Amino acid sequence: MSVSHTAAAGGQFIAGERVAAGRDIIHSLCAATGEPTGHDYAQATPEEARSSAQAAAAAFPAYSQTDSARRARFLNAIADEIDALDDSFLQLAHLETALPLPRLQGEKARTSGQLRLFARLLARGDTENVRIDTALPGRKPLPRPDLRQYQLPLGPAAVFGASNFPLAFSTAGGDTASALAAGCPVVFKAHSGHPATAEGIALAIERARLAQNLPAGVFNMIYGDFIGAELVQAPEIQAVGFTGSLKGGRALFDLAARRPQPIPVFAEMSSVNPLLLLPNAVKARGEQIAKDLVGSFTLGAGQFCTKPGLIIGVAGEDFDRFIGQLTQWVNAAPPQFMLHTGILENYRQGVARWDRHPALRRLAQGKSADNQAASRLYQGDKDLLLSAMDPVLQEEVFGPLAVVVTVADLEELLVALDHLQGQLTATILAEPADLPLTSPLCRRLLHKAGRVLFNGYPTGVEVSDAMVHGGPWPATSDARGTSVGTLAISRFQRPVCLQNWPAELLPPPLQDANPLNLLRLVNGEYTRDAITGNTPD
């Protein structure tokens, strides 16, 4: 296939070929003006969606058997190709998303960086999770067989790209990187908000695949606004990664559950990311917190899934003063372009709903401009946090908007937290003098969020071994995983136990000699040593 970037109409990436049988066209548009950028893409037909899944399935037997070192080389090669993309690619991404070039440069580096992080994980051998219980033939009353457990890839994975991160949560983003690292071929459904950006990254992945001589079908990409159901229902697909709205994630989850063979859906969906401001913190540094907090929830036009959208504090003069400072900063906030006109319209509809709500009062509105989003701050009645009948404060409004709620005391705050749904993040801003109050708060927040912060802002998500970007429903569809950090690979693996296998047939991770020098749990103890002929008593 040709890997040169072209402005001509393009099609799907299926089994190493470009395919465009469909007549419906997705137009790449300038996010700021709505004008065409000159890049058009044929939407996938149902047959093409099924073909992409079949191509991934055809690649699975060979790709799943590649060793960790080879998959690491593939991921590093993709990272190299992404790093080599020039300014013309970033300019195109800027046109499609209205994101500033420094943000896109940082996101490009993050995308290649997380690919290299998974490559290092593979090089360490941490993905195998080997557990071995050697045979106890003399055990009474029954002997124990030889049991050896390790991880296998689930199978072909369907990945849906996010709108708000056109690189780091998109074509070669965390879901794709972790699935490929696990040994799972990928069918990626490009987001229609940035189709040309997706094409540029897909071409980079294909160049890396060809250079590494990996099977066609290891990576496939399709375009289409209404093709997701066909992809999820394709029998070859064995897992789904999704980043987007609660409505979209729930629809995919339900589709996957209704299949003759249900499959897991790892969906990141909705979070209001509560931030608790404790009394001594607001007294000591309320003015600085107000400035920083507005900067956080308006960052990138509020288009971060970890935007702190719910601000809760204890009643008093200091908190009243803080609300006034928040109001001043929001009123001064400049207007911002959003990722595309559809997101802007959804934001305006959300604002209209909040303006009509009798228990919400608008405190501030930032500067406005045509085709741009104005920041907003609301004050909500505390009873909204306690009502299961009115979920307005539990529903994310995607954009530069936040609500502040005042509670009477710590007890009321604890009751409010008990009523919160699952979150990606929860934040506590506190001084040392507040710490005696925080223990009961922490106990609740640990059960509500995937990441709990002290004295920081959640809009920075570090890509690392320890990061968790997940949380209980509706933040995600499966609270046991993460979509950021190396633990993300576990979503696309399953454990398998080999019982009494002949030594000649054991895969390298399970062999007595430990040729990969893995850290393994052998008879209850972690060791890198080879297994000798002796068995435990």
Looking at the annotation, which residues are catalytic?
268, 305
Buried b vs exposed e over 385-401: b needs ≥16 C-beta within 10 Å? Answer: beeeeeebbbebbbbbb
Token code pair at residue 224: 């289409």
Q: Are 347 and 398 within 8 A, CB to CB? A: yes
Tokens of 334: 């400049």
E strand or H helix at 525: strand 525-527
- As given in the structure block, the two tokens for residue 441 are 């708060």
Give 349: exposed, middle or buried? Use CB within 10 Å, 0-12, 13-18, 19+.
exposed
Task: Output the CA torsion sign for 88, 82, 306, 428.
Answer: negative
Residue 495 to residue 516: CA distance in whole angstroms: 19
Q: Helix axis angle, 101-124 relative to 87-97, nearest 10°?
A: 110
- Helices 410-418 and 435-446 meet at what angle, rounded to 10? 10
C-alpha distance from residue 164 to each of 93, 202, 222, 508 (Å): 12, 18, 19, 41
In eight-state DSSP terms, residue 333 is P
Q: Please state at what angle helix 317-331 crosses helix 279-297, rounded to 10 degrees.
A: 10
**CA separation for the pair 405, 235 (Å, rounded):** 47
Q: Measured between alpha carbons, how far is 504 from 530 in angstroms, rounded to an integer?
A: 16
Which run of H or E residues covers position 265? strand 265-268
- Tell me which H or E stretch contains 240: strand 239-243
DSSP tag of 531: P
Give the helix/strand (H/E) hosting 51.
helix 46-64
